[in-house]
Every structure is written in C-alpha cells, then in structure tokens.
Amino acid sequence: DGGITQSPKYLFRKEGQNVTLSCEQNLNHDAMYWYRQDPGQGLRLIYYSQIVNDFQKGDIAEGYSVSREKKESFPLTVTSAQKNPTAFYLCASRRDASSYNEQFFGPGTRLTVL
Amino acid sequence: DAKTTQPTSMDCAEGRAANLPCNHSTISGNEYVYWYRQIHSQGPQYIIHGLKNNETNEMASLIITEDRKSSTLILPHATLRDTAVYYCIVRVAGAGGGADGLTFGKGTHLIIQP
C-alpha cells in the first residue's frame, strides 16, 4: 500500500532530551511537510521541503530541525530548545510543490515531554 | 493567504445532507478554496478544492458563490463516520509565494447524530 508512515504513534521523553520523529512516504512525492497541532487548535507549519537536500522554515521552526537526505524520508528533531514540545505532530507530502495537488497526511505522532 | 471564518460546531442528522459554510471575503483571484477534514487523533484528509466553478467528487460537493467570498461544502448523505473537524483553507495553488504549507484555522466540528 502507498502512503505516509509516522512512528511511533506515542512518544514520551524527559525534559531536556532531543527526540527525532520519523516520517516516511512511498508515494514518490517531491514535497514533504511537518506540522504541529495543539489541543483544540488548527495545524501550524514547522518545516517543509520541496525537493531532496533542500528545506525551508515554516511559521514555528524555532527549537526544531529537519533533514531531507532521501526523497522518501523527512525526519523531525525536537530539540531541548523547544520550550513547549508536547503536541501532536503531523507529517504530510505532496506530489510536487508547483501544481494543484493535495497534501496527504500521516497518522501523526503524539509527543509528551515529562 | 486569505483568512477564513467557519462556525465552531454544527450538528446534522444521519442520512441528511450536511452543509458546512465558509466565509473568505478577502480571497484574491489566484487563490483556491480547499477543504480537509480531521477525524479525532488522525491526520487530516483532503476532501475537495475549487477555484470558481462548483466541484463534485465521490466524497462531497463544493459550491462557491459567484463573488467567491464564501463557499459551502456539502456531504450529501452524512454518516456517523463523517463526524470530524472540517477545515476550509484558502491559498494559492502550487508553491505560490512564501511558506509552502497549508494554514489551518480551528475549523468546524461536525457532529452527525444517529
């Protein structure tokens, strides 16, 4: 089956630790995105990548880092500099960033920092 | 991207048509209207999008007013599984300018009643 996978579904970490969230897609999509969702709120864009080896900051990039070494993978690291990391994190992909196509979302990772 | 206004919540009886309104009075000529939905604790799912003509697919219909300042998403025969938060998003199709991501507001919580 084609799609986007995020792992793990639930993640617990101690305050001050860096943590990396996985996002993999086998849709052969060029563009990938990371969003954060807080309870009762909409999604906010953290980082996005329109092509391999390139990525751009979104609206709330502080305290986060990403890499895009492979087309199918776009991991997100939540660093200790992120002041309020507990949230629901969603990864998405799009066929390419220049046409009228929709974003496909993964199932999300719920991160809780204790 | 133009701002959108949606009701916080709506109820609809199972089997009836669910009509979800969205106001986007500041929409510009090259901005599309997109609809996504998010079932609790899952990633958002694309439903439909349009520019100025009405659109229909297997999930829903999108009616855009002639002045494009508002739109309505119609789920023709709502089922219990349609209970979700529905997001109306307005943005330039493709990369556009600025951050290439979707701006999600709080959406409309649609509750389908048995």
Q: CB of B9 within 8 Å of any CB in chain A?
A: no
Cβ-defined contact of A99 to B93 (cutoff 8 Å): yes
Which amino acid would we find at residue B54? N
What pLDDT was estimated at residue B94? 61
Rounded CA-CA distance A77/A89 in Å is 11
Contacts of B83 (CB under 8 A, 6+ apart): B39, B110, B111, B112
DSSP string, B17-84: PEEEEEE-TT--TTEEEEEEEE-TTS--EEEEEESSS-EE-SS-EEEE-TTSSEEEEEETT--GGG-E
Q: CB of B40 within 8 Å of any CB in chain A?
A: no
Contact list, B95 vs chain A (CB under 8 Å): 50, 97-98
B71-99: per-residue pLDDT in tens?
A: 999 999 999 999 999 999 988 766 544 45
Asked whether the predicted pLDDT for residue B48 surpasses 90, the reply is yes
Strand partners, A34: A47, A91
